[in-house]
Structure 1
């Protein structure tokens, strides 16, 4: 069995996921996980699937052929099972500013905290006149102490930043 991770970007239109799932299914692949969204008129995402070795070459060729339909894909073979250590979730809310994701990711990296998943938005803040930044970050930490130190570092980024950590 081989596992693949494929990143996809194409113009947003109905049927993108159907095209991918049909291709993977037709080639005897098993869709295991994915995350997709529409951003600025583009549809982008990532999918993980597994397939028998005998069908691997066929699915790679079929995926590559999608480039002719306007898809941009990056195909990578998986490197084994993910770590099973527990994850924690960090919720962050505050005034949006240029560089906030860089500052957040730097604070986490300095404390050797691995980002598993990051979801963020910037939306108008009611009654403030600016934008409100919201992020949910799923992480794996080497220790509880590292997580507490990272929380302090995150809260130091801005005096209005609210950081809540749910331990996994």
Structure 2
């Protein structure tokens, strides 16, 4: 009986740690490499190819520049009913982004998201993911967005690198 109890505890402990490892505590995007990575406790747990804004080089400065921002942000809320297959909001613009935009007399823009494909066009991902097509967002396939949606809780830090 005692051996069986110990075995059950070992199995349950393994399940809990495996489940915890499937929750990201940090997201990193490498724009130049078109790569989104999920980390847990410093360990890489998943990575995905991404499409970015149509003008991806450089930090987002203003509404309509089609750039994906660079820097440290939070994934602060989600929208299950967006115009794309699910979306998770990047906390751009940060106060320093807004300050820089105001100093230049422009609107910093906003609504930067990680999202899947346009609704009803997920089947086109084999084509759309080959080029940068968003207005500054980070796009993945719908299946990948489903994984990210379940693995990335609200208020997870995201670092977007050049």
User: TM-score category by the smaller chain?
Assistant: under 0.3
Q: Where is the strand percentage greater, Structure 1 or Structure 2?
A: 1
Q: TM-score, normalised by structure 1?
A: 0.22
**Greater relative contact order (Cα < 8 A, sep 6+):** 2
The structure with the largest alpha-carbon Rg is 1
